[in-house]
Amino acid sequence: MSTIRKLPTGVPGLDILTYGGVPRGRTTLITGKSGAGKSVLSLQIACNLARMGIKTVVLSIEETTEDLIATADTLGFDLAGLVKDGTVFLTDLTRPMDGPTHTSGSFDVEGLVHHVTDLVKRTGAGAVMLDSATALFSPRPSEAHLRNHFFRLVSAFRQMGLTSIVTAEAPADHGQLTTLGVEDFVCDTVLVLRNLVDGERRRRSIEVHKYRRSAHYKGEYPCTMTLQGLTVFPLDARQTEELSEDARFASGVAGLDAMTRGGWLRDSIVLVRGPSGSGKTTLAGMYARAGALRNERVIYYGFEETKPILMRNFSKVGLSLKELEASGNLKVECCYPEATSPEDLLVELRAGLASFKPSLIVVDSISSIEHSTSERGFRQFMVGLASLLREHSRSALLIQTIGTFVQNDAAPAYLSTIPDAILLMDYTRKSQGLERSMSVLKMRGSEHSSAEHRMAIIPGGLKVEPISA
């Protein structure tokens, strides 16, 4: 079997799903219902090919060239600049809107084929984008003629050696891929975009339905539309940086470091579970503060309080973070998950990892995200978050609010497998007040104390000690 030459798409995450990008000299079909993002994705790929030096012809059937440029440049694709540089050639094939359209005779794509052939000869183009095939074949010819014409068009692109990106409308999110019914035997690659209602929110996803002669990721993967175009979350746990053998860092709580035999392992994900009022946010503040005081960069994502209230509360217990934020070692970001989506939160996390380059990340709390989305959306968020952290080899502290353990509030199975360590915080009601406790449920790759320890919230944070003391 010959090796397939691929071209990167420039779409974050998509080249991971496709193991390298779209096939060179072949046709990739992008399908989905209206509003799924087909035009944006095809433009994003086309502009990236042009930036790579591959001259690209854009055949616009649905939008004028002016509208295409406006859309692309709003997303930062710089289509206007690529047109000016002579690397993208726009062809407006929209129908005139100033009067009725009369159709006579049989449908024929030969005129379009000759037009593209002439463009390729004059410009030296190596790629073509057609948006969309559904609009091109409207009014729709008979089934047999449609298949023949589509096959002729795709074959012509291939004979000219063009890498082609074609969009088409889908009749539904699942089932038949396009209203044309021609994609299975004609196109080498088929990407399916979906924009489903999930609970009270919409959830975008992408699927590599087909990739001829190439391995690819199977199933649906979350994606979202950002100010820079489409972003895909492959949900894979690739490790791109070498793990430290046994490097540790202090949690900020002396008694807890004794329980973990010297602190948390570097590059670990720690899940802190406990009921409201058990001291989880205080522990998160101590974790972030200890890292910033060591001159590490730390991002604290707060999803339960506004930033002024969070900073005030930390200051009141003797954990002021203002000076550390002013020093540049700490960044505090607060928002309510209901105002965004899990996919957009992952985009923000990815951007923060790329720009701020923190070594420690705090998410307080994942429960707020869980309550603002569906079970499937939350699971995808958690797997996507773990994937980002593993990819960049970062340590993280994740807070989860549950009922008391006396109430047997069990976590989903995947929340037990994602973290490297799980810390339990709880309390019981006594006649003299609350009696708080802390215990390490698990800690991969390290000896640790399994005994329950006494904990108290005091000025300056938390105090942890063995119960026998």
Is 231 in contact with 224 (CB distance < 8 Å)? yes
Query: For 151-191, what is each residue's pLDDT tens digit?
Result: 999 999 999 999 999 999 988 888 777 777 765 578 999 99
Pairwise CA distance, residues 200 & 308, whole Å: 29
Percent of the chain with pLDDT over 90: 62
Q: Which of 393, 396, 452 is nearest to 421 (CA)?
A: 396
Pairwise CA distance, residues 413 & 212, whole Å: 36
411 residue type, one letter: A
Q: Which of 361, 362, 369, 375 is nearest to 340 (CA)?
A: 369
Would you say residue 39 has pLDDT above 50?
yes
N residues, the chain? 469
Pairwise CA distance, residues 177 & 347, whole Å: 28
Would you say residue 98 has pLDDT above 70?
no
Distance spanning both ends of the chain, measured CA to CA: 70
Is 24 in contact with 6 (CB distance < 8 Å)? yes
Strands 360-364 and 395-401 come out as parallel
Pairwise CA distance, residues 30 & 186, whole Å: 13
pLDDT level of residue 3 (50, 70, 90 thresholds) = confident
Query: For 388-399, what is each residue's pLDDT tens digit?
Result: 888 888 999 999
Lowest mean pLDDT, pick from 100-114, 128-142, 275-289: 100-114
Sequence-distant (≥ 6) Cβ neighbours of residue 118 within 8 angstroms: none
Cα-to-chain-centroid distance, residue 355: 16
Would you say residue 285 has pLDDT above 90?
yes
Lowest mean pLDDT, pick from 216-230, 238-252, 296-310: 238-252
- The DSSP call for residue 96 is P
SS3 184: helix
Sequence-distant (≥ 6) Cβ neighbours of residue 350 within 8 angstroms: 12, 231, 388
- pTM (whole model) above 0.85: no
Q: Write out the two tokens for 149.
A: 């014409």
Percent of the chain with pLDDT over 70: 91
Pairwise CA distance, residues 452 & 466, whole Å: 7
Lowest mean pLDDT, pick from 172-181, 235-244, 411-420, 455-464: 235-244
Domains belonging to the chain, first-starting first, are 6-232 (3.40.50.300), 248-466 (3.40.50.300)
Q: Is it true that the peptide bond before 342 is cis, omega within 30 degrees of 0?
A: no
Query: What are the Cα distances from residue 65, in Å, to 83, 122, 189?
Result: 11, 20, 26
Is 311 in contact with 324 (CB distance < 8 Å)? no
Query: For 419-443, what is each residue's pLDDT tens digit?
Result: 999 999 999 988 888 899 999 999 9
Lowest mean pLDDT, pick from 63-67, 319-323, 361-365, 429-433: 429-433
350 residue type, one letter: R
Strand partners of residue 197: 202
Lowest mean pLDDT, pick from 92-101, 168-177, 206-215, 457-466: 92-101
